[in-house]
Every structure is written in C-alpha cells, then in structure tokens.
C-alpha cells in the first residue's frame, strides 16, 4: 500500500490551494471591489438622508444598482428590494406573502431539495397553521409538473420552487411552473440565488412573481441580497418582517448597505455582459473534469440531470470511498461533500437522498463548483489529484474489494449503528 | 475540521493494510459498521495456535480519516499481544492516542468493536471460550 499523501505535483501557473466551491460563495471580482471602495470612505452617506449631498450621492448609487439588477433579470428597478442576503429574501418572500394573503388561503407548495432558508421557513409557517406540500423530485432532481398540478387546491396562495439547486446544480422548469401558477392565480416565488448571472433568467419570460438574489454567489460581496417583487400582473404585496424607518417601500426597513448594494449592482452588470461566454467556458471545463474522472475511475456516478444543469456544477459520487476521507486527501482543493461526516448534523445530504440515492452513495459524493476564476490547468490538476486519491482509498476500502470479488453488498447483514 | 498530526499520519501512511485468508483457521475476521452509516471496518488477525499471540493484523476501512486512523492504530496495537490482552484495548485509549474530537468518538468505538469481532470469530473457529459480543451499543 502506497502513501495516500499528495503525489500529484501542481503544474506551473497553478497556485494552491485551489478554490472550486463557488456554490458556497465566490471570490469578489476586483472590478466589483473597485466600484465599492469609494462608498466605504468618501461617499459614506446614508441613502435615506434627503437633505444633503452625501445622502443624494448614496441614493444615486443605490438607484443605479437597482437598475443594474433589474436589467439582468428583465424587471423594473422599482421592483427590486434590498436585503441582507438570500436567506432574508427567502424569509421575507415566503412569510411576507403568507401573512399578506392569509385570508385568501393557507396552502403553500414547495419541493424537497430547496435550500434550508426555504424549507425551514415553510416549517415555521406550518406551526402557525399553514399547510405546506413538499413535492418529491424525480431521480434526475427535477419535479414532476403533474405533481404540482395535483397539489394545487383552492387554498393555495404560493408556490416556492428554486431555479437552480445549490448542491446538484439542477435547473427546475420555472417557466412552466410560473405559467401554471399564473393560470391558477397563485403567486410564484423562486430562490434564484444559484441561477441569476449563471443561466438566462428573466422574470417576464419565466413568469416569476418574486425572486431571491444574492450578491456573493455572483462575485459580489457577502451580506447583501435582493428580492424582486412584481408590481404589475399581478401586483404582489408583501408584509414587512422587519419594522422601522419604512425603507424599501415599507417592505424592508433598515439603513441600506450602500457599498454592498453598489457591489451587487456591479456584479449584475458584469454577469449580464459576460454570462454567455463564461457559461460556455465553464461548461467546457466541467465536462472536461467529468470526462477525465469517468475515464480513469469505475463506479462513479453523476448526481442529478446533466442536461438541465448549471454550467459550473458537477456533483459526483465515488462509490465505496467515503467523502470526508476523500476531501482529506485533496486538502489543497476546496470542494464540498454530501457526506454526513462533513455536515453539522451528521446526516448525509438530504438533496442526494431525495434523488433516491442510498446513504452510502450520498456519503461518497463530492460537489465541484467551477467559477469565473478557475482555469483549465486547475481542472487538470484537480482531476489528477482526485483520481489518485480515489484509487488509493479504494485500495483501503473493504467495500470495493468485496464488490470486485462479486459480493452483493445489499445481501450482507450490516451491523448498523 | 482540523485533524491531529497522528490522524494525518495514519491517513497518509496507513499501517497493515490488506487482506488475510478468511478461511484459514488461524485467521479471525471482524467486519463492523454499515455502508449507509458512512463507515465499515474490516479487521483481520492471524493468531499463533500455540501461543495465542496475534502475529499478523490487517485492515481495510471505508470511512472518514478518523475511522481509517482508528483501525490502522488498532492493527498496530493488537500485533504481538495475546488475544486476551488485545481484548483489553479500549476505545478511550484510541481516542486519547489520536486526540479524536467528540464527533469522532464513534470511529474509536467501531475500531474496538472490530477487534472484538475479529477475536470472537477466531475463538468461534477454534472452539476457544465463547464468542465475545461487544457490550458497546452505540447510537448512529
């Protein structure tokens, strides 16, 4: 048995560690930082100060950002509300609509692979007497529209289904979902955090009424997000969840994070200009990574649809190798795993389990999140490194040995603990 | 999660990886854990029938770095001991040696279980004493 230590050398031009976890967060684009900097120092005004130049300057910057965001998603600037991030946006959208439309109904529909910001918000509403339907997903991670149709009843006020999944990158059919909602007079909210700036997303074409957006997933700063709230056909009303000075048309009080908002706006402007080309490049890198891994390793499994997927996402299970031990072997590469051992709850990924994967396959999964600053040389290094470590860990894996001997692991009476 | 130097060392240089002939009467095999729990350890010992000394120990583990380190360490510790001495190894000794954090204590419990299961298998094959079942039921 050879050493599991690093034996793959980093080529020239590759700096370690490599960041390949862009669904968790993304590095700030230097152009975004440049746009933000003056708003920390000389242009420090409060955008709500109406009676002096410092305030006007800040307000002008905020309005420019509002337009940049609106342009990227096909909205009107007046329909953009700033928040502290997508978790707040999801909370505001779902709780705000539930509260506002309580007299019309108490039924909400979502699906099982949503982000916890949506699922836990829905769970809280259940405690307050709302009924929530959690739709299942098919093996490819996508909901069945027939399930959605059947789930809708006369008390349904809201459907909240994400545009792109943060773990497996799968794209939900939001255009069809939105169409169905509009036919039934039901509001449609989408957590669009992973989709905006990565794939075409247009609130008009996609029939979206409310959408959550985050800055730090699109090379902007952390701690700032937005909520798109449709003003016409239908005009969506949302009950504020934070009370105070009545900022953001009364929907979200609190002094605006002007530098953060400027950063979000700039990030959206760059995304709009570069999305098509960047998407093609990332898809090429992603497919290159996948092909390299599949050509060198057996028992690898892509989780989620390859067709309806974010260009930068690859989620793969390296069966018979436990995810955390794999991460330990590639500790100069930042990726994440669906393994229980890497989560705070010690449970394997609920998203992967929702696809019908066994816990053992979920434990073996790695999420590669490619982004703007990843290069082909990095992809080649990561592929070589993963191949090397998986092979070594399989030499160590009793399960791999048993499968190679033709033993059916499902027939063994495991001593579960 | 930060790993202790000893865990990293066992992970990078696992001791006694391999497979013994499970059909040999001198060999005891312990297979513990479950794939759906994220860890499976197989520990094998070859016992000298005259002296009851464990002369060889091999392992393979599917699991996190701490599980690999715990089982690697277990093979080192059982080698050269009699089977009865080996039964004296406690999971808490492994926790201490590897500086395992609380969330990884189950890895050490599994390693102790593996030692007991391997010795139990050898005793059963050789009609020595009775099978030793692990008294340690542990939650998942």
Cβ proximity of A308 and A140 under 8 Å:
yes
CATH of domain A30-271: 3.40.640.10
A 10 A CB-CB count for B42 gives 26
Residue A2 — very low, low, confident or very high, per pLDDT cuts 50/70/90? very low
Contact B18 A348 (CB under 8 A): no
| pLDDT confidence of residue A341 | 65
ipTM score for this prediction = 0.90
| pLDDT confidence of residue B137 | 45
Chain B residue with CA closest to A365: the answer is B38
Q: Distance (Å) from the C-alpha of residue B94 to the closest C-alpha of chain A?
A: 19
Q: How many CA atoms lie within 13 A of B106 on its CB side?
A: 18
Contact A322 B18 (CB under 8 A): no
| Residue A191, H or E segment | strand A187-191
Task: Look at strands A300-302 and A313-318 and give their pairing.
Answer: antiparallel
Q: How large is the average pLDDT for residues A330-340?
A: 88
Helices (H), A203-349: 258-296, 323-329
Distance of CA A180 to the CA centre of its chain: 23
| pLDDT confidence of residue A284 | 98
Q: How large is the average pLDDT for residues A190-199?
A: 98
Chain A residue with CA closest to B104: the answer is A341
CATH of domain A18-27+274-407: 3.90.1150.10
Residue A414 — very low, low, confident or very high, per pLDDT cuts 50/70/90? confident
CB-based contacts of A62, cutoff 8 Å, min separation 6? A47, A82, A256, A258, A261, A262
- pLDDT at residue A283 greater than cutoff 90: yes
- pLDDT at residue B138 greater than cutoff 50: no
CB-based contacts of A379, cutoff 8 Å, min separation 6? A285, A288, A289, A292, A370
Residue A48 — very low, low, confident or very high, per pLDDT cuts 50/70/90? very high
Say which DSSP state A15 is in: P
- pLDDT at residue A203 greater than cutoff 60: yes
Q: Distance (Å) from the C-alpha of residue B82 to the closest C-alpha of chain A?
A: 25
Q: Inform me whether the C-beta atom of residue B68 falls under 8 Å from chain A C-beta atoms.
A: yes
- pLDDT at residue A306 greater than cutoff 90: yes
- pLDDT at residue B37 greater than cutoff 90: no
pLDDT in tens, B38-84: 899 999 999 999 999 999 999 999 999 999 999 999 999 999 999 99
Name every chain B residue with its beta carbon within 8 A of the beta carbon of A342.
Answer: 1
Contact A3 B13 (CB under 8 A): yes
- pLDDT at residue B136 greater than cutoff 60: no
Q: How large is the average pLDDT for residues A284-306?
A: 98
Cβ proximity of A178 and A208 under 8 Å:
yes
Q: Inform me whether the C-beta atom of residue B36 falls under 8 Å from chain A C-beta atoms.
A: yes
Contact A396 B140 (CB under 8 A): no
Calpha distance A381→A368 (Å, rounded)? 13
Q: Which residue, among A398, A402, A405, would best test binding to B if mutated, counting the most B CBs under 10 Å from its CB? A: A398
Which residue is associated with the tokens 């890895």?
B107
| pLDDT confidence of residue A11 | 84
Cβ proximity of A379 and A288 under 8 Å:
yes
Q: Inform me whether the C-beta atom of residue B17 falls under 8 Å from chain A C-beta atoms.
A: yes
pLDDT in tens, B20-32: 999 999 999 999 9
A124-133, A225-234, A406-415: segment of lowest average pLDDT? A406-415
Mean pLDDT of chain A: 95
**Nearest to A94, CA basis, from A239, A194, A269:** A239
A 10 A CB-CB count for A403 gives 17
Handedness of CA B4, B7, B9, B11 (dihedral sign): negative
CB-based contacts of A106, cutoff 8 Å, min separation 6? A98, A129, A130, A131, A155, A157
A98-102, A271-275, A340-344, A396-400: segment of lowest average pLDDT? A340-344
Residues of chain A with CATH 3.90.1150.10: 18-27+274-407
Name every chain B residue with its beta carbon within 8 A of the beta carbon of A4.
Answer: 11-14
Helix, strand or coil for residue A59?
A: helix
Calpha distance A117→A202 (Å, rounded)? 22
Chain B residue with CA closest to A345: the answer is B103
Chain B residue with CA closest to A412: the answer is B34
pLDDT in tens, A151-183: 999 999 999 999 999 999 999 999 999 999 999
Residue A220 tokens, joined:
């902007």
Calpha distance B132→B119 (Å, rounded)? 8
Name every chain A residue with its beta carbon within 8 A of the beta carbon of B14.
Answer: 1, 4, 396
Q: A37-41, long-range: CB within 8 Å, 24+ apart, which pairs? A: A37/A259, A39/A258, A39/A259, A39/A262, A40/A259
Q: What is the pTM of this model?
A: 0.92
- pLDDT at residue B120 greater than cutoff 80: yes
**Nearest to A283, CA basis, from A370, A170, A197, A172:** A370
Residue A350 tokens, joined:
């609920």
Q: List the single residue in B41, B63, B138 with the smallest CB-CB distance to A325.
A: B63
Q: How large is the average pLDDT for residues A201-224?
A: 98
| pLDDT confidence of residue B140 | 39
Q: Would you call A341 a catalytic residue per the annotation? A: yes
Calpha distance A232→A97 (Å, rounded)? 16
Mean pLDDT of chain B: 91
Contact A325 B68 (CB under 8 A): yes
Residue A166 tokens, joined:
């943060």
Contact B11 A325 (CB under 8 A): yes
| pLDDT confidence of residue A75 | 98
Q: Distance (Å) from the C-alpha of residue A1 to the closest C-alpha of chain B?
A: 7
| pLDDT confidence of residue A344 | 62
Name every chain B residue with its beta carbon within 8 A of the beta carbon of A398.
Answer: 31, 40-42, 60-62
pLDDT in tens, A364-411: 999 999 999 999 999 999 999 999 999 999 999 999 999 999 999 988
Residues of chain A with CATH 3.40.640.10: 30-271
Helices (H), A78-225: 86-100, 116-127, 145-151, 174-184
Interface of A with B (CB under 8 A): 1, 3-5, 320-322, 324-325, 328-329, 339-342, 346, 348, 358-360, 363, 395-401, 409, 412, 414-417
Contact B37 A346 (CB under 8 A): no
**Nearest to B67, CA basis, from B29, B100, B115, B93:** B100
Residue B130 — very low, low, confident or very high, per pLDDT cuts 50/70/90? low
- pLDDT at residue B129 greater than cutoff 80: no
| pLDDT confidence of residue A340 | 65
Name every chain A residue with its beta carbon within 8 A of the beta carbon of B101.
Answer: none
Q: How far is the first Cα of chain B from the last one, in angstroms, to the nearest whole number?
A: 20
- pLDDT at residue A1 greater than cutoff 80: no
| pLDDT confidence of residue B139 | 42
| pLDDT confidence of residue A359 | 84
Calpha distance A286→A307 (Å, rounded)? 13
Active-site residue among B47, B89, B98, B107?
B107
Residue B45 tokens, joined:
């010992």
CA angle A248, A251, A255 (to 5 degrees): 45
């Amino acid at each position: 048995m050879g050493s599991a230590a690093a034996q793959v050398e980093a080529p020239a031009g590759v700096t370690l560690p490599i960041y390949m976890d862009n669904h968790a967060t993304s590095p700030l684009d230097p152009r975004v930082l440049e746009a933000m900097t003056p708003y920390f120092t000389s242009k420090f005004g409060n955008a709500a100060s109406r009676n002096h130049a410092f305030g006007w300057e800040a307000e002008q910057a905020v309005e420019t950002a509002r337009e940049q965001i609106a342009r990227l998603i096909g909205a009107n600037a007046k329909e953009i509300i700033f928040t502290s991030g997508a978790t707040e946006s999801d909370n505001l959208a779902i709780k705000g609509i539930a509260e506002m439309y309580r007299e019309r109904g108490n039924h909400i529909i979502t699906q099982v692979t949503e982000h916890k910001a949506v699922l836990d918000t829905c769970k809280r509403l259940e405690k307050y007497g709302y009924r929530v339907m959690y739709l299942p997903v098919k093996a490819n991670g996508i909901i069945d529209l027939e399930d959605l149709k059947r789930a809708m009843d006369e008390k349904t006020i809201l459907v909240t289904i994400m545009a792109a999944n943060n773990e497996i990158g799968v794209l939900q059919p939001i255009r069809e979902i939105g169409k169905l909602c509009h036919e039934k007079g039901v509001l449609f909210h989408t957590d669009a955090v992973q989709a905006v700036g990565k794939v075409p997303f247009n609130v008009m074409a996609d029939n979206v009424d409310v959408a959550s957006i985050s800055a730090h997933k699109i090379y902007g700063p952390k701690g700032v997000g937005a909520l798109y709230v449709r003003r016409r056909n239908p005009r969506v009303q949302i009950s504020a969840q934070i009370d105070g000075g009545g900022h953001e048309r009364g929907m979200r009080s609190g002094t605006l994070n002007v530098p953060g908002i400027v950063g979000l706006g700039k990030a959206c402007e760059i995304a709009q200009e570069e999305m098509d080309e960047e998407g093609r490049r990332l898809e090429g890198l992603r497919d290159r990574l996948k092909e390299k891994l599949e050509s060198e390793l057996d028992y690898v499994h892509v989780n989620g649809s390859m067709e309806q997927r974010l260009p930068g996402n690859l989620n793969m299970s390296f069966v018979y190798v436990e995810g955390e031990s794999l991460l330990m072997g590639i500790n100069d590469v930042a990726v994440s795993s669906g393994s229980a051992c890497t989560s705070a709850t010690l449970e394997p990924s609920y998203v992967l389990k929702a696809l019908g994967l066994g816990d053992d396959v979920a434990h073996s999964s790695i999420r590669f999140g490619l982004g703007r600053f990843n290069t082909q040389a990095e992809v080649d290094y990561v592929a070589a490194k993963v191949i090397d470590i998986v092979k070594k860990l399989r030499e160590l894996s009793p399960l791999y040995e048993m499968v190679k001997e033709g033993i059916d692991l499902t027939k063994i009476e495991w001593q579960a603990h | 999660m930060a790993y202790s130097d000893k865990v990293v060392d066992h992970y990078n240089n696992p001791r006694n990886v391999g497979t013994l002939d499970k059909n040999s009467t001198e060999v005891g095999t312990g297979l513990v854990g479950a794939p759906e729990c994220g860890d499976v350890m197989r520990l094998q010992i070859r016992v000298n029938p005259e002296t009851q000394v464990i002369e060889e120990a091999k392992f393979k583990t599917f699991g996190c770095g701490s599980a690999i380190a715990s089982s690697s360490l277990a093979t080192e510790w059982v080698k050269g001991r009699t089977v009865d001495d080996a039964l004296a190894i406690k999971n808490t000794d492994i926790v201490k040696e590897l500086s395992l954090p609380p969330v990884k204590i189950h890895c050490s419990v599994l390693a102790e279980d593996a030692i007991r299961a391997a010795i139990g298998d050898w005793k059963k094959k050789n009609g020595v004493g009775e099978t030793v079942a692990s008294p340690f039921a542990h939650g998942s």
